[in-house]
Amino acid sequence: MLLFTRPAEPSDFAKKVKAAKEHVAAAVNEGRPLDSKHDFDSIWSQFKDLFSQAQKGKCGFCERDVRTCFGGDVEHYRPKNGIEELPPDEADRGLEDEFTGKLRRKRNLSDAFKSGYWWLAYEWSNYLVACPRCNRTWKRCLFPIAEARTKKPDPEDAETPLLLNPFGPEDPTQHLAYDEFGQITPRDKSARGRATIETCGFGPTPLFSTSAAHCRRRSQPAR
């Protein structure tokens, strides 16, 4: 996982997302549950090229070349609609085949809250590009925080994110260590490193084959 510089917000971004942003806010004010397919216009996909260029064509989490997977997805760092949690039993957290990288056991995540960070759905600072495997299979709607999550997210709440962000402010390499084979472990027992590994399915860990999913290992020389 690398540190990148976020691309500058386009001058027309706010105008393009205005109607979609107002629609979501109105639904929340009415007390209506949001539906990911019908309430969120995926305008963010129009700006995928800018983020992919800023990330040097790499997935923001695993560094896989997103050009090999149809350009990847514009991912919301904080999930826009709903929060999931990892199951307590590690056997339910997913397992990949040792040689093909295909799932042998899927992740059985639980729904913590049906409402997510809806007010950040159209915020430039909440985007990055991720490969489909990281976005749809592993991270999904996970967003670990240091505090106990006892209620749905609220704009007024102060939270301490544990998931590392490729756009900072902290350099992920300060929390993640890489061995000679590119395997990833928490640096100096970093809580943020551990949470990022668990969220994104990085190894080595008993949950994942140590030789599988090479595309999610570090592609750069170890620092």
Provide the whole-model pTM.
0.87
Q: Grade residue 111 by pLDDT with cuts at 50, 70 and 90.
A: confident
Tell me which residue of 193, 156, 149 sits closest to 172, measured CA to CA.
Answer: 193
What integer pLDDT is reported at residue 71 of this predicted model? 75
Residues 6+ apart with CB under 8 A from 219: 58, 63, 64, 182
In the predicted structure, residue 34 carries a pLDDT above the cut 90:
yes
**What is residue 13's three-state secondary structure?**
helix
> Dihedral through CA 126, CA 72, CA 49, CA 11, nearest 10?
-20
pLDDT at 126 over 60: yes
- Most confident listed range (60-74, 90-104, 166-180, 194-208): 166-180
Q: Are 5 and 54 in contact (CB under 8 A)?
A: yes
Question: Would you give the DSSP letter of residue 28?
Answer: H
Q: Give the amino acid at 197.
A: I
